[in-house]
Chain A
Amino acid sequence: MADKSQVCSVWVGSETGILKGVSLSKKQAFNFCEMSCLSRDQEVCVLGWGDEHETEVLVGSVNGTVKTFSTEKGIFTETRQCGESTQGRFTGIAVTDSALITCVETGLLRVWKEGSTDTVEINAGTNVCRMRQNPSQRNQVATGGKENGLKVWDLERPETPIFTSKNVRNDWLDLRVPEWVRDMSFIPDSDKIVTCTGHHQVRVYDPASPQRRPVLEAHFGEYPLTALSLPANQDSVVVGNTHGELAILDLRKGLVRGCLKGLAGGVRGLQCHPSLPLVATCGLDRFLRVHSLEDRSLQHKVHTNTLSFSYTLSTPEAITGDVEEVKEEGGEVDEVWDTMEMINDQAKKRATDEEEAVVTGVEKTTKKRKVVK
């Protein structure tokens, strides 16, 4: 179990409550579930990293429990009850130093401190669709939902949000434009927040500027945008909608740079790799796909049996290791033979991969030797 979980580079949560780890090098999904107690109310709503080093995955389910899964050990280490199912589904989960932040659909944002049972509570309005944490300033979170605009909260001052957005001006018929924030993300190195809406708009807000209305608005498609992610390089954003259309939009002018093909079902989770130009998507068509952002081609496609109802997360080191393996022909074998030449930083991951390669590649070495060399 432990070795399986260490190989996995992408984590996906499913509708039946199973946490799946996907290893892109092996093109396989491994199931990690707790004591085979599957039920629909264990359906995974949110996934989040438990710590900075990405060794723990937090899994939030419909029935209000948050489970901690350790990637090194390969088992669920902890379960805590954070609210009941009557309060709505989890819409966001995050961790600051020793505190767990959860947000549910009814708008109740809670900070659960380690050790003590009292929580700091913030009411973020009704119908919250998503809550996200600012990766650079860990005590700031943003929430947004249906008819509930974007609000940025500072957890140290829980009474009022530090930024409330204002809706766009009335349209050309002088009717109020409906608002439905589905997903948002903090743009690194600046204060700005980009959101995608259920009315196929992508908006950028700047709390530093005096205007509370969006700084930039862009449209894509005709269907609700469900997920959003920022790639490593600045100025672009990847969005997905309910029809399975993925697009890369440019944030400088708000134009569509290109579409990623292949998805047949609604996009539920979208995550860009922090350094490489890759994006992983999971959706209702039961496939996990990894696309490259430069040439918009499909790099990996893995079948996960159940509907992926939640977010994918990826570990950076493992993805680099896997991507390099795939690019080389007969990667496992090459590593065994080329360990002397490999001087780079991924020495640690190479070591673990090496062990695997030795075990699995022994039978193949004799055959592959002729092919590779």
Chain B
Amino acid sequence: IMIEKTEPEHVDAPAEFSFPPTFSVSEIKNKQRRHLMFMKLKQEKRKQKVAMKKKKKKERDALGDKAPPKEVPKTIENQRVYDETTVNPEDEEVAFDEGTDEFSAYFNRLTNPKVLITTSDRPRGRTVRFCNQLATVIPDAHVYYRRGLALKKVIPQCIARGFTYLMVINEDRKVPNGMVLCHLPDGPTAHFKVSSVRLRKEMKRRGKDPTEHSPEVILNNFTTRLGHSMGRLFAALFPHDPQFVGRQVATFHNQRDFIFFRFHRYIFKNEQRVGIQELGPRFTLKLRSLQKGTFDSKFGEYEWVLKRHENDVCRRRFNL
């Protein structure tokens, strides 16, 4: 017998035992009894769910070929709100913009990247090892000890010595947690939050150390205008050479505004199958701000700033 309930949170299906009309599991004051009631409620629900599933499967089998296609489950990536800044591949304005922006020198093969990696002052062992491993991953990277120098003074010296990138790994409590990536002649400065850093010895089933060859770069899912700028920022770290030597690949995968960095060695077993071995450090990045011009946090102009409370409003809207 279906008993009508008006409570919001309630068992709504045919129950073995009847309830008085206004009843809710949370109204039982005795914790043990409440717990038992709740468990019974959950078991009921589970039984119904299994029964529904069985029924659906039966119907599906009965229909055979004429069955409607399986519904795709909704994920946050599926439900992503359409971003109006998504770049259309044929957009001329964007193409012109990218043809003349700060990275155009790199993309027109005029300069080769040269990266300076440093940390915040007095780094601890983990950060130092991370920097050294990053230097093996990025070709033509040099690690320097910070010595408490101000970044604004370091930048003109770097430009004078021909560096194209400055990467500063910030450390907090013996663990790297931030990164400032500054494109040197007068390029944008990106500030990231670094999390989930795994060094080489912590990685399972890893291959041997990376060699001196330049890796291939894969940039996944950078669709919006901001994403495009980030993609170019990462691509300009590595030499622009389509003739790949050495089967190494660095991947920057963007998902839900987090950028995952992985470094693999691949081998093609045949046309369809590839074997990969992860080497090298892995870490995740989240963009906190993108500033026009070289590092100047006080007086610089920001092209994009992460404002957490404004981003938290909609779970399905992403910026990169």
Q: Residues of A at under 8 Å CB distance from B?
A: 15-16, 18, 31, 38-40, 198, 223-224, 226, 242-244, 261-262, 264-266, 284-286, 303, 305-307
Contact = CB atoms under 8 A, between A and B. Distances in A.
Contacts of B96: 16, 38
Contact of B303 (A16, A39, A223, A284): A284
B305 A244 contact: yes
Contacts of A31: 93
Interface in B101-160: none
Contact of B304 (A40, A223, A261, A264): A264
B305 A16 contact: no
B292 interface: yes
B302 A39 contact: no
A38 B92 CA distance: 11
A305 B93 contact: yes
22 contacts: A16-B93, A16-B97, A16-B100, A31-B93, A40-B100, A224-B299, A242-B300, A244-B302, A244-B305, A264-B304, A264-B310, A264-B319, A265-B302, A266-B301, A284-B302, A285-B303, A286-B225, A303-B84, A305-B225, A306-B93, A307-B97, A307-B303
A306 B302 contact: no
A261 B310 CA distance: 8
A243 B305 contact: yes
Interface string B81-100: 00011000001011011001
Contacts of A40: 100
Nearest to A224: B299
B307 interface: yes
A317 to B, nearest CB: 27
A264 B301 contact: no
Nearest to A266: B301
A266 B302 contact: yes
Contacts of A223: 298
A18 B93 contact: yes
Counting contact residues on chain B (CB < 8 A from A), the size range is: 20 to 34
Contact of B292 (A226, A284, A306): A284
Contacts of B93: 16, 18, 31, 305-306
A242 B292 CA distance: 10
Given A265-B304, A285-B303, A306 B97 contact: yes
Nearest to A268: B301
By Cβ-Cβ distance, the 9 closest A-B pairs, closest first, are A266-B301, A305-B93, A284-B303, A242-B301, A303-B84, A265-B303, A266-B302, A264-B304, A40-B100
Contacts of B307: 244, 264
Nearest to A20: B93
Contacts of B225: 286, 305
Contacts of A198: 299
Contacts of A285: 303-304
A242 B97 contact: no
A154 to B, nearest CB: 33
A243 B310 CA distance: 14
A286 B84 CA distance: 11
A243 B97 contact: no
Nearest to B300: A242
Nearest to B86: A303
Contacts of B305: 243-244, 264-265
Interface string B204-225: 0000000000000000000001
A304 to B, nearest CB: 9
Contacts of A286: 85, 225
B285 to A, nearest CB: 18
Nearest to A284: B303
Interface in B58-97: 84-85, 91, 93-94, 96-97
A31 B85 CA distance: 16
A284 B301 contact: yes
Contacts of A18: 93
Contacts of B319: 264
Contacts of A262: 310
Nearest to B93: A305
Contacts of B100: 16, 39-40
A306 B94 CA distance: 7
Contacts of A266: 292, 301-303
A286 B226 CA distance: 10
A198 B225 CA distance: 28
Contacts of A284: 292, 301-304
A303 B310 contact: no
Nearest to B310: A261
Nearest to B301: A266
B301 A226 contact: yes
B48 to A, nearest CB: 41
With most chain B CB atoms within 10 A of its CB, the pick from A39, A223, A261, A264 is A264
Contacts of B84: 303
Contacts of A307: 97, 303
A168 B273 CA distance: 72
A198 B301 CA distance: 11
With most chain B CB atoms within 10 A of its CB, the pick from A16, A31, A243, A265 is A265
Contacts of A16: 93, 96-97, 100
Nearest to B319: A264
A31 B91 CA distance: 13
A265 B290 CA distance: 9
A37 to B, nearest CB: 11
A256 B52 CA distance: 58
A18 B96 CA distance: 11
A75 B27 CA distance: 73
Interface in B253-311: 292, 298-305, 307, 310
